[in-house]
Amino acid sequence: MVKKIIFLGWLIVFLPAMVVGQDKIDAPVWNVGDKWTFTGDGSIEVVKADPSGYILTFSDRNCLIETQNCSAILFQKASLNRINAIERDKHTKYVMGLSKILDFPLIIGKQWKTGYSGKEKGFGHQVSYDYSEIYKVLGWEDITVQAGKFKSLGVEYKRKAISSSASWANIGEEIINQYWYSPDAKYFVKCKYDKDWMKGNKDISNWELTSFQLKK
């Protein structure tokens, strides 16, 4: 009886720590040749991995918003934050949206914030905007996509326009997108965009993982 009480006490002390440990997801190790393909026949591939980070190339037809019109991006190893945009051999500091769409370690309830400036077309000329971005890890879900079924962490993305060069701009407008990250796939397996935001963006559509390969 005494041994049973001691064992139960051990569970009370250590089980919460074990659960927390399971819910803390560190950055995956990517290898050259890792590749993910998504609906729309777009793909992302790791082409370089060294102490400075990972370089990933993005196909023209893949996840329009997530690429930010970059053909290649350098990711920091520890967090997978975006460091540089790459055009041919030229590296420039990454200053566009979604710079921290991945910010490891991922823990349920974790929130982080960043921001960026961008331009959009408006009445025949470009209008500049300043945006805030807020991310939150929601929790685990079983997500089924064309590539299979994955235990995935939901990540909520909120973008809000906070200032603009145009007086008529809709300041305060907010969009909310949802992403699902799978440790087994080592990347997002699904994205669902804000349906109201999509109404004016016919080139943008929700996407999911169709296939992937991971090198050792």
Q: Give residue 2's pLDDT band: very low, low, confident or very high (50, 70, 90).
A: very low
C-alpha distances (whole Å) from 82 to each of 98, 101, 203 are: 8, 9, 24
User: Quick check: 210 and 38 in contact, CB under 8 A?
Assistant: yes
Give the tens place of pLDDT for each residue, 156-197: 999 999 998 887 777 888 999 999 999 999 999 999 999 988
What's the CA dihedral at 93, 95, 99, 103 to 10 degrees?
60
User: Quick check: 102 and 181 in contact, CB under 8 A?
Assistant: yes
Instruction: Compute the distance between CA of residue 38 and CA of residue 63 in angstroms, rounded to an integer.
Output: 8
The DSSP call for residue 94 is: -
Question: What order do you get walking across the sheet with 35-38 strand by strand?
Answer: 90-93, 82-87, 72-75, 53-58, 42-50, 35-38, 207-213, 187-192, 174-182, 148-164, 125-145, 111-122
Write down the CATH number for the domain with range 2-26+33-213: 2.40.360
User: Quick check: 140 and 152 in contact, CB under 8 A?
Assistant: yes
Nearest to 107 by CA among 85, 147, 70, 138: 138
pLDDT of residue 152: 98
User: Quick check: 70 and 85 in contact, CB under 8 A?
Assistant: yes
Give CA angle at 100 (206, 45), nearest 5°: 60
The region of weakest confidence among 39-43, 80-84, 135-139 is: 39-43
So where are the chain's domains?
A: 2-26+33-213
Give the tens place of pLDDT for each residue, 35-66: 999 998 789 999 999 998 999 999 876 566 78
In this structure, which amino acid lies at residue 100?
Answer: K
- Mean of all residue pLDDT scores within the chain: 87
Is the pLDDT assigned to residue 21 strictly greater than 50? no
Q: Give residue 100's pLDDT band: very low, low, confident or very high (50, 70, 90).
A: very high
